[in-house]
Amino acid sequence: MHHMMLDHFAAGESPVHRLDPVAKTLAMLAMILATVLLGDRFVAFLPLAAAMAVYHAIGRVPLGYTLKRLAMASPFALGVAIFFPILEPGRAVWTHPVGPWTLMVTEEGLLRAANLLAKFVLCVWATLLLLSTTRFQDVVQALARLHVPRLFTVQLAFLYRYLWVLIDEVMHLRRAREARDGGAGAWAPRFRSQAGLVGVLFLRTYDRAERIYWAMAARGFDGSLHTSTQGRLRAKDWAFMLGTIAGAAGVVAADRLTHG
Residue numbers of the site for other proteins (CB under 8 A)?
Answer: 1-3, 5, 11, 136-137, 140, 157-158, 160-162, 164-165, 208, 211-212, 214-222, 226-228
Which is nearer to other proteins, 93 or 217 (by Cβ)?
217
Nearest C-alpha neighbor of 59 from the set 5, 9, 115? 9
Question: Rounded to an integer, what distance in angstroms lies between the CA atom of residue 186 and that of residue 197?
Answer: 16
The neighbouring-strand residues paired with 96 are: 103
Q: Least CB distance from residue 6 to other proteins, whole Å?
A: 11
DSSP annotation of 51 reads H
d(CA 48, CA 63): 17
Whose Cβ is closer to other proteins: residue 24's or residue 112's? 24
Nearer to other proteins, 104 or 140 (CB): 140
* Minimal distance, residue 44 CB to other proteins, in Å: 38
CB of 125 to other proteins, least distance (A): 24
H or E element that contains 107? helix 107-133
Quote the CA–CA distance of 30 and 154 in Å, as a whole number.
Answer: 24
Residue 3 or 180: the one with the smaller Cβ distance to other proteins is 3
Min dist CB 2 to other proteins, Å, is 8
Q: Which is nearer to other proteins, 21 or 109 (CB)?
A: 21
**Nearest to 89, CA basis, from 62, 65, 107:** 107
The least distance separating other proteins from the CB of residue 131, rounded to whole angstroms, comes to 13
101 forms beta bridges with 98
